[in-house]
Structures are given as structure tokens and as C-alpha cells.
Structure 1
Amino acid sequence: MAKRPPHRPRGRARFNPNGFYSYREVCELTTLSRQTIYLLRIAGRFPEPTPLTSGRIGWLKPVIHRWIADRAARDLAPDDQDGVDGEDGEDE
């Protein structure tokens, strides 16, 4: 079976910063599978989509961009549990 080319919105839709991302686009942007996104949603760790029609959902673009930025910031933050903040765990 031939692989489908990635979805590329045409015209103004591509450049609309306040539009919606489809499930496919969210998967591409986050590099997460549909199943992983679903599980993260159930756990409350991924934004809920907005119903667009009776059979279609979408995520606001700024919401997804913020989630990606927050996730990157959290992953890059130093871990305070290992004494990184300068404490060695001993009382003086």
C-alpha cells in the first residue's frame, strides 16, 4: 500500500495562527501517535479538542503550541530532587 503524503493545508489556512489543527496535524507536530494523544487526554496531560462539527474535532493552534513549549520547558528544566539546587542534604 502506498504511503500518503503529509497533509499540507493550502492557501491562507496554512498561515492562520488562530485556526485549528486536525488530529493528523497534531500527531505530526507533536510526533505522538493518536493512541498516545488519547491516553494523555484521558490522564489530563494533553489539551482537549474542540468539537468543530458532529464528526470532526480540532485543537486551537495556540493551545497546541503552548503545550509543546511547556513540555519542552519541563523536559529541559533541571531536576531539583538530586541536589542540583546546591543543597547536599546535610544540616549545618
Structure 2
Amino acid sequence: MKDWFKPSIDKRKVRKVARCSHQNLEEVEVFGYYGRKSELELVIYLLENAVALKKIIIDPHNPFLPDRPKKIGQIEKEKAARVRAKRQLKGRVTVGIELVIL
């Protein structure tokens, strides 16, 4: 059984999306970020196309379980996701954009 929270290398063909400059998007919050390829691609797309972007917040926490106490395993997964996000996005976020990893 494959764990959904572990990033995997996928040999699928990547389709390029139409480039569209998002003129008014200033802040983005990405919940449930574990560093999967699709999540990273989305963040990179936003960094490249949201011309007014000032802040991007990465939060590995599941927003659908707000008040449930976390199990030890979940805490470790989120900690690893934060480290992975920092490693993946370091150097990709340009000057003028604040990167916040919760």
C-alpha cells in the first residue's frame, strides 16, 4: 500500500497549462501541503504567474480536521512536510514574495 503523504516520482506526461498572469492575486495559502509533485507544480505555477503575489503560506495541516487532537505520527508527517517544503521552495521564491511555512 502506498502512503499518500509520501512524495513519489511519477512517470506521467506533464501537460503544460496556458500561461495566465493573475493580476490581483496577492496572497495564497496552500493547506495540506506534503510536497507531492502536483502540489509543488501548483506552487511553482503560482510563483511564475501571479504577478502581484506578495505572500504564499504553506500549511501541511489538514483543514478538514481543525479541532481533532493530532496523533504522534501525524505530527511527524507534518514536520517532515515542513522540511520538504522549505527544501523544495528555497531559491524558487523571488525577492518581494514572503514565504511562510506553518
Is this a same-fold pair by TM over 0.5?
A: no
Point out the structure with max Rg over C-alpha.
1
TM-score by length of 2: 0.24
More helix per residue: 1
